[in-house]
Amino acid sequence: MSDCPTVQLSKNLRIHHPWVFGRLLEKPSERIPPGTIVDAMNPDGTFAGRGFYNARARIGLRVLTTDQSEVVDAAFFAARLGQAVAWRREQGLLQPRCGVRLVHAEGDGLSGLVVDLFDDVLAIQFFSAGMFRQREVIKAALLDLFPAARVYWFAEKRVQKQESFDCWEMEAPSNVVIEEHGVKFQVAVGSKHKTGFFADQRDNRRLLSELCAGKSVADLCCHSGGFALFAKVKGQASKVVGVDLDAEEALPTARANAALNGADIEFLAADVMDWLRDAAKSKTTYDVVILDPAKQTRSADKVDEALNDYYHMNRLAMPVVARGGILLSCSCSGLITEEQFLGVIKQAARDSGRQAQVFRLSGADTDHPFMAHVPEGRYLKAVWCRIT
């Protein structure tokens, strides 16, 4: 029998999704601190699930198990983390100097937790008060798996406010260099860009490089230069330009990455929309254009606004792609479906007087799994088009 506090669901539910929103939970008679492990009970007295409760958050309950006999303790977290790492190991991703996502939140049955491994650094990101409360348990389990690792954990200020917890700033580890398919990257652990590197695009970077030999390439919203580096170093592109608005962190890292690989790449600080307008005015075109902007919405009520933003970016990008050239357009907004994003590409092509011949649809690499019953986990959509 569990000794967890109990919360009551407002109606009988068979929980299939790890998120139970606060409106479906009755207010407890006594205050339960944010992030407490609780048992959720149906009005008829049956067990519904066990997980992290947070009366102050939009997601009132993050379900960790629907098995009433499964205790959520240190052994539970060690087992889930061990299973997640074993999967990456089976995929051959745990190589020396690798950059790999070890834990992908709901995709690994650990809602509210992301862990990336960058060489010898474990970068832990908390998205829930519950996971933050378990930080020492999580750290101990990870260090059992990676005894020589350095640990850095953090949570975005926005998340801390939403979830009602305080995550003090740690000193970020320095001199972190990873290698991906022979291309070296400095990882800015502790930067404002998630855990410091976007491992989700690993396979897409490799695929892109196969299309770049002798071509001119524009990597837009280039961040630390991932696609640009692969285009030049692996793909042997003739000319590569990277554009990003972040001149304080992203572009200095991108330039350092180019130097690390001995690659001649021009990185420019500019608003991508303005850069595209200027390129169209001067009739400058590129054989390959990558458009990989930051997440455009975190809120369901702003999906239409986000779709409009994606439309305008792609509408401006189409004329900058040489006839017969390639556009790789990405969205990392989990609330936008692949169907919706394809609709954006279709409308942008039509309104720019071009045709978009889609030859590949892809997403995040295998270290970013998602559960079939949690479609939000498939956040990254990559549409590969030949523009004519």
Pick from 245, 257, 156: nearest CA to 205: 257
Q: Are residues 237 and 325 in the same domain?
A: yes
Q: What angle do CA 170, 172, 175 make, to 5 degrees?
A: 160
Q: Is residue 221 part of a domain?
A: yes
AA letter at 150? R
Q: Are residues 343 and 235 in the same domain?
A: yes
| Count of the separate structural domains present in the chain | 3
Q: pLDDT tens-digit profile of 14-66? A: 888 999 999 999 999 899 999 999 999 999 999 999 999 999 999 999 999 99
Q: Are residues 240 and 214 in the same domain?
A: yes
Domain, as residue range, for 136: 74-163
**pTM for this entry:** 0.94
Q: Is residue 81 part of a domain?
A: yes
Q: pLDDT tens-digit profile of 244-300? A: 999 988 999 999 999 999 999 999 999 999 999 999 999 999 999 999 998 887 778
- Sorted by sequence, the CB contacts under 8 Å of residue 41 that are 6+ apart come out as 6, 7, 8, 9, 47, 48
- Sorted by sequence, the CB contacts under 8 Å of residue 111 that are 6+ apart come out as 18, 19, 51, 52, 62, 63, 64, 105, 127, 128, 131
Q: Are residues 22 and 91 in the same domain?
A: no
- Mean residue pLDDT of the chain comes to 95
* Domain final position from 163, 179, 206: 163
Q: pLDDT tens-digit profile of 322-363? A: 999 999 999 998 889 999 999 999 999 999 999 999 999 999
Q: Is residue 142 part of a domain?
A: yes
